[in-house]
Amino acid sequence: MIKLGLGLSVQHPPGDSQAERFRDHVEQVRLARAVGFDLIFASQHYLSHPFTYFQPFPTLGRIAAEADGMTIGTGILLLPLHQPLDVAEQVATLDVISGGRFIFGVGLGYRDAETEAMNLNPKERVSRYVEALEVVERLWSGEPVTYEGRHFRLKDVRISLPTLQRPRPPIWMAANGDVAVRRAARMADAWFMNPHSTLATIERQLALFRAERAIIKRAMGEVPLIRECYLAPDAATAYAEAQPYLEPKYEAYRSWEQDKALPAGESFDRSFEVLARDRFLLGDPARVADELLRYRERLGITAVIVRAQWPGLPQERVLRTIRLLGERVRPRLGL
């Protein structure tokens, strides 16, 4: 079974009415729920020029009211930029609000500009990440925590509100490079496979993840994949309509040096045609369903989280993709 999720594309042109754009997200979630989606995620970045960015905790707090029965989550939260006590309490609150249907998606981050603006040292990002996740997990137990680390110190601290899920919400860890994938295998319940790498790269790295899990004798759990996705009645229309919005998004990623965080051989310095190949889900419902079945066969995915909007894309086209995924693709996946 493949669970179907929507990753809210919370970046928008700064000249837009941001209140209207947020109302668009509420409408997207309502439709996703109506046509059978299972999951809703909100991501995080700071300093997101040339776009605006809705932050995940308040976004998910509002979205939860429209997502009754669905699972919500951060996809992803930049954990090294935060204090773990604050994160533990925020997530516990959202876990209760969602009725115990919350996934804690976390990532290391790759942009020095964000880290430095928080008055943190980019060279300490990994050690902060490891410590912060350890502290958050211990706090979620609801028991007093004493911790003496390089970055964080707690003395007999008890969280205000334990999580509803016991022992804790699932942890899905994003990872780009091979070292990070192995880290995810050791520290998380699942590797949140990124939308930026090609199928061949993800397939190779998933083998690394599985091998690391075997070493520590930990079973595989969920296998979630994020993908950019756009559907239209025919494949040519889907491709032509997506390019003017998706291509600038990846130009912005390139300016942020996102592709430098990817494994060797992966680059965004490609034509759109090459960039889209084995990386984006663009097409009519039959073609996208076939692609998802290919991912299931090659990777064993248990969830796919689609990003169906990019800055400037009209709302009616976003809703069309969501509707076609629910009504035409989902049945092909046996859901």
Question: In this structure, what DSSP letter does residue 166 have?
Answer: S
Q: Is the pLDDT of residue 293 over 80?
A: yes
For residue 158, the model assigns a pLDDT of 97
Residues 6+ apart with CB under 8 A from 84: 131, 132, 133, 135, 136, 139, 152
For residue 134, the model assigns a pLDDT of 98
For residue 310, the model assigns a pLDDT of 94
For residue 267, the model assigns a pLDDT of 66
Q: Is the pLDDT of residue 261 over 80?
A: no
Q: Is the pLDDT of residue 260 over 80?
A: no
Q: Domains in the chain, ordered, with CATH?
A: 3-333 (3.20.20.30)
In a 10 Å sphere around its CB, with 0-12 CB exposed, 13-18 middle and 19+ buried, how is residue 280 labelled? buried
pTM metric for this prediction:
0.95
For residue 273, the model assigns a pLDDT of 82
For residue 255, the model assigns a pLDDT of 74
**Tens digit of pLDDT for each residue in 162-185?**
999 999 999 999 999 999 999 999
**Tens digit of pLDDT for each residue in 234-247?**
999 999 999 999 98
